[in-house]
Structure 1
Amino acid sequence: MNAQDTSKQPEVTVFRGWKETGKYVWSPYVVKLETRLRFAGVRYTTDVGGLKAAPRGKIPYIEFRDSSSASPLLLSDSSLIIQNLTERGTLPDLNGRLGPAERSHDMALRALLEDKLSFYHAWERWTRNYYTMRDHALWSIPYPVRVIVGLLVHRNITATLHGQGTGRFTAEEIAAFRLEIWEGLSALLVASRSSSKGGDDEPFWALGGSHPTEADASLFAFVISVLISTASPDSQKVVKSFPILLDYANRIHDRYFPDYEKWTL
């Protein structure tokens, strides 16, 4: 992480839902939040946490304390956490320097990932690779109870995907939609890398600028989530078929996450 005056830094604990340390977790929203903190050089610790303790019942959430806080604040939802910390001045406004067209482009990229691709990933994990996903996501629940809870989660997610629309498509159609998104993102990164003024090992950014934007935190997170999740075998094949995606992720990892275990290819 980038060096800052630690005496003035707030205390931030990121509750990630899993107990492993020094590793990425499967949730792209956790990775997105950690990436955003590391882009800013904000030091933080990690903990497991749980849905019962989480505001809004969502992972990730954080406990935040700074010099102006009489007691720790609990904040949840990765986007709202980032917005809140930006308004407090803890995080810089990555998109503050962007013009209207670039802001719209950044917003569209995040929506493509978080409001479209995420449903295709949920479908792949919870319907095509249910048992792998169940045992990973519900690791803290004893096995006999996990079976029952897993069925309830599966039913809820299936209903959500049907209502949202993803569940109404065939496996072949979803695979084609997913491939189209990764193809488009790969083409964008090829253009971004070619226009980058950094060195061969320096990170390059989705919008082609000299600094990351909010979209980079999301894009990196979704690439990492696919690469480490054993419940995403089809998506893994797709992502690994585009060297530019791996190069993009490798460079950001090496710069901002050198202490984390790297995925295997």
Structure 2
Amino acid sequence: MLTVYKFGPAFGLPDLGPFVIKLETWLRMAGLPYRSEVGDFRKAPKGKIPYAADGDRLIPDSSQIIDYLVEKHGDKLNDGRFGPRERALGRAIKSLFESELYFVLVYLRWWSDEDFALVRPAFGEAMMAGGVPRLMVSPMLSFAQRGTRNMLKAQGMGRHTREEVFAMGRSLVDAAADLLGDKRFFLDDEPSTIDATAYGMLAPILFAPAESPVKARALERANLVAFCERIRGAYWADEPAG
């Protein structure tokens, strides 16, 4: 059975990591059995979580894991139903979530000490569950925050003012809501891989306790809220709150 290595649930979410939520949601959509364990960055093939193990094979990256499983088990979500235009649109939607909104979410969690204080205990619990000694957790989290800030500066998000980041986040949320429109899911009325991606990025904004103008805008977009509630009800109703 496939093993997914993750951070661990928190704030009523399946996991702290958006890409873990994406992967696990996809697995539940596809009806593929799996087990999960707290991951260890030192053992991750690319030094990131999630990663997965299938027998002796370690697979990095949520998208690569999904591609591997599609090749092994077939197109469980029937993504092959989409033509060239829908596939191109799906690629653009994926970029909106994973290459843009994701970095807004990282900024909202890690940039300011006040924001980081909200998620720091949950990351600390995940680290200890992964075998990090308690005395090492605080210095390692401080190191991780500095590293994440440097990454955000290199990526570009960290070079903007807080208000500019909020404005970008609101704009991206509006774009996602406009793309969804009155459909049940992003490409049509049946779930596809892109919906697992969307849920992975939207759920931490909508359902985690941290407040921000980005969350406020997301809550104003009723179709996004309904979409996330639809995914949560269909695939996560049996999951205890973290």
TM-score range, shorter chain: 0.7 to 0.9
CA contact (8 A) 1:117 1:178 kept: yes
Once the two structures are TM-superposed, the CA of residue 23 in structure 1 deviates from its matched residue by: 5.3
| Percent identical residues | 29
Stretch of structure 1 that moved more, 183-192 or 80-89: 183-192
Q: Does residue 1:173 correspond to 2:157, yes or no?
A: no
The structure whose Rg is larger is 1
CA contact (8 A) 1:14 1:45 kept: yes
Aligned to 2:52: 62
Residue 185 of structure 2 corresponds to 205
Shift of 1:222: 1.4
Q: 2:22 aligns with which of 32, 43, 49?
A: 32
In structure 2, how many angstroms separate the alpha carbons of the residues matched to 1:77 and 1:252? Answer: 22
Normalised to the residue count of structure 2, the TM-score between the two structures is 0.87
Cα gap change, 1:262/1:154 in structure 2, threshold over 3 Å: closer, same or farther?
A: closer
Residues in 2 aligned to 1:191 and 1:46: alpha-carbon distance in whole angstroms: 34
Alpha-carbon distance in structure 1 between the residues aligned to 2:225 and 2:49: 26
Provide the C-alpha distance between the structure 2 equivalents of 1:177 and 1:228, rounded to a whole number of angstroms: 20
Aligned to 1:250: 229
TM-superposition CA deviations, 1:1-45 (whole Å, max 9, x none): xxxxxxxxxx1121212277x951121101110111111111112
Per-residue displacement from partner, 1:226-258 (whole Å, max 9, x unpaired)?
A: 234345644432322222112111112222222
Query: Aligned pair in 2 of structure 1 residues 19, 114: CA closer, same or farther (>3 Å)?
Result: closer
* Structure-to-structure mapping, 1:233-248, within 5 angstroms: 233-248=212-227
Cα gap change, 1:50 to 1:164, in 2 (>3 Å): same
Bigger helix fraction? 2
Question: Which of 140, 155, 166 is residue 149 of structure 1 equivalent to?
Answer: 140
| Bigger relative contact order (CA 8 A; separation at least 6) | 2
Q: How does 1:185-224 map to 2 (within 5 A)?
A: 185-192=176-183, 204-207=184-187, 209-224=188-203
Of residues 33, 55, 65, the one that matches 1:81 is: 65
- 1:137 partnered with 2:131: no
Residue 183 of structure 1: which of 148, 155, 174 is its match?
Answer: 174
Distance, in Å, in 2 between the alignment partners of 1:93 and 1:249 is 18
User: Are 1:86 and 1:93, in contact at CA under 8 Å, matched by a contact in 2?
Assistant: no
Once residues 197 and 225 of structure 2 are traced to their aligned partners in structure 1, the CA distance between those partners, rounded to angstroms, is 15
Preserved contact between residue 25 and residue 225 of structure 1 (Cα < 8 Å): no
Q: What CA distance in whole angstroms lies between the structure 2 residues aligned with 1:228 and 1:59?
A: 21
Q: Which stretch of the first structure deviates more once superposed, 52-61 or 157-166? A: 52-61
Query: Contact 1:62–1:74 at 8 Å: present in 2 too?
Result: yes
